[in-house]
A and B are shown apart, each in its own frame.
Chain A
Amino acid sequence: MSRTVTIPHLGRVEGHGGIRVTLTDARVTEVNMDIHEGSRYYEKLLVGKDFHDVQGIITRVCAICSADHTVAALAGLENALGLRPSERTSALRGLLLRGAAIESHALHVFALALPDFLGFDSVMAMAERFPDEVAFALRLKQLGNHIQAAIGGRAVHPINTLVGGFGRFPSHRTIESLRRDLAAVVDPLLGAVEMVSSIDVPDWAAQQTLFVALRPRGSDFGFRGDVICTSDGAEYPIEAYRDAVREFTVEHSTARHTALESGETYMVGSLARLRLWGDRLGGIAEQSLSVLFPNGVTENVLLNTRAQLVETVYCVESAIQFCDSYLALEEIESDLQEVEARAGKGIGAIEAPRGTLFHEYELDDDGRVVTANVVTPTAQNLANVERDLRNSGDRLLQTAAASDTELKRSFEMIARAYDPCISCSVHVVRPDR
């Protein structure tokens, strides 16, 4: 006998939406996860646009990851134009990414994942028992916004970030203020690490998983690199990303799915980064890794929340170090490079909060976009989410007579662990849901 567990969440956006899991005789026989993923529209919108205008448009593909799309787009465009940003520009873009990660991880860890693990319906239900932690999460999120505003000119959809540099570098006074705010969250953040370490993570979602992440430049942990690495040892230069990451369409979704050259699905994001490069962490981030992963980084997507918390500590710690380095530099207004239009192709890749993000641009002689291609972390994770739902569903059905309500909650936990970028290019009030 068949039945279907449905988790609707998109409603009228492009007429699609939801997770549907079909169960037949205590086995999962079909899994469909459909999301609205807006990058294809933006790719088309960019065709014919001057390279100067690209980042201001593409950043709007997402309201949460706007800084990440900006930095990836600038890297792709500068590679196409044969431009190398100054060290100061590159470092500031790194700080911008840390601000974006702090904001995004604070939201996901505290507003979505912890309520799941602690049995609350929402972050505000959790606030009744954990008022200080919920208030701190908002403060942490605001800190991420402040960093992005200081570097990018505003908290969402940065405008100070340009091809060739920054319109204006932040003043020492601004960075000093950021440093104070960063230092002030260290202790409560480490308190959150202790709290989260005491929460059990179920093991019904544990399964063999292939992880993918960029190898960070240099010898430290980080969010930028030039080589795509998989946890089974394969390596690809980012210029070969189309060989490494194969995009394909599926009937049930408007979003593209991806798999590796071998056809295997994979996971990108915090857990993948820590699995591959966690041994590069130092200081309090390394200590947090030990506290939250006492047995090492294992293959269970539900641990992604812990991985995001470790990365939050890393971002705060390394941002403080960045501030100290920046304050030792001479204060200058800008070193924005003159950019001459020319034809070329370029690829930019970064590690966004949800995983590896690729931007590719082809420009004509006048510097106008001929083609654009954006591969988001969520699109890369989709096939793996469906795999996890299928395998975890089977396991839950075989170990206990799970009710539809329990299955639905478990499926939601898996989807949420990936924190998919669902339809974030729209903002509507849904009074009936």
Chain B
Amino acid sequence: MAPHGTSSSSDQPEPARLLIVGLGNPLMADDGIGHAVVRRLMECELPSGIRLHAIEGDVLALAELWNGEQTVWLVDAVSGDSPAGTLRVFEHQELLGLPAGGLSTHQMSVSESLRWLLHGKPEMAAVRFRLFGVEVGVLRPEEGLSQVVKEPVCRLADEIRAAVES
């Protein structure tokens, strides 16, 4: 998905203050939650200083996407113990403390990736992360979200929009 940015109309655009990144793969059913939320936000008139991006699985790609924003919000599918469609929010410390590890680099967790990013890119040390998630209903090769997460995805996009406007 192409990047989307809003900035002031002055000659010298002010640096974005908030980077919102949707994560996931829209070809894997509810794994497309992050992209769906970002797509909905792109249709809105957001305040200046907010950049929107959607990427697939590599959280470390934030190293390239980040452009000095003090705040980075991630939007991702969550596979936990709550019912499908439940909205989840993980604030900075909780997010960095989530379990890490797996058998494959393809499974590097969000928390481990972020902590590695903060270690290897000291200029990002002051960035505060927040992750918005929706519990998945269906994770399988399939285009489009499952019925059970469609409304929560819209609700989450509206909540994020309200949060950036407040």
A interface residues with partner B (beta carbon < 8 Å) = 7, 9, 11-14, 19, 38, 41-42, 45, 60, 62-64, 104, 107-108, 111-112, 121-124, 127, 131, 134-135, 137-139, 141-142, 145-146, 149, 155-157, 412, 415-416, 419-433
Contacts and interface: CB of A to CB of B under 8 A. Distances in A.
A230 to B, nearest CB: 26
Contact of B119 (A121, A131, A157, A432): A131
B79 A429 contact: yes
Contact of A138 (B27, B55, B103, B116): B116
Of B31, B55, B105, chain A has the most CB atoms within 10 Å of the CB of B105
B58 A426 contact: no
Nearest to B108: A111
B103 A412 contact: yes
A369 to B, nearest CB: 16
A419 B104 contact: yes
A122 B64 contact: no
Contacts of A7: 103
A121 B106 CA distance: 17
Contacts of A431: 78, 80, 88, 90, 98-99
Interface of B: 23-25, 27-28, 31, 34, 55-58, 60-61, 63-64, 76-81, 88, 90, 98-110, 112, 115-117, 119-121, 131, 133, 136, 139-141
Contact of A416 (B100, B103, B121, B139): B103
A7 B101 CA distance: 12
B112 A122 contact: yes
Contacts of B34: 427
B25 A427 contact: yes
23 contacts: A38-B141, A104-B105, A108-B105, A121-B100, A122-B100, A122-B112, A124-B116, A135-B119, A138-B60, A146-B64, A156-B61, A420-B103, A420-B104, A422-B106, A424-B107, A426-B139, A427-B77, A428-B77, A428-B78, A429-B109, A429-B110, A430-B79, A432-B81
Contacts of B140: 13-14
Nearest to A7: B103
A426 B77 CA distance: 9
Contacts of B63: 138, 142, 145
A138 B58 CA distance: 13
Given A111-B116, A424-B57, 5 more contacts: A63-B25, A138-B121, A142-B64, A156-B61, A429-B77
A349 B58 CA distance: 25
A12 B56 contact: no
Contacts of B77: 426-429
Nearest to A433: B99
Nearest to A124: B115
A63 B78 contact: no
A9 to B, nearest CB: 5
A60 B119 contact: no
A423 B104 CA distance: 9
Contacts of A12: 79, 136, 139
Nearest to B96: A124
A163 B140 CA distance: 29
B150 to A, nearest CB: 17
Contacts of A424: 57, 104, 106-107
Contacts of A104: 105
A424 B25 CA distance: 10
A336 to B, nearest CB: 22
A424 B100 CA distance: 16
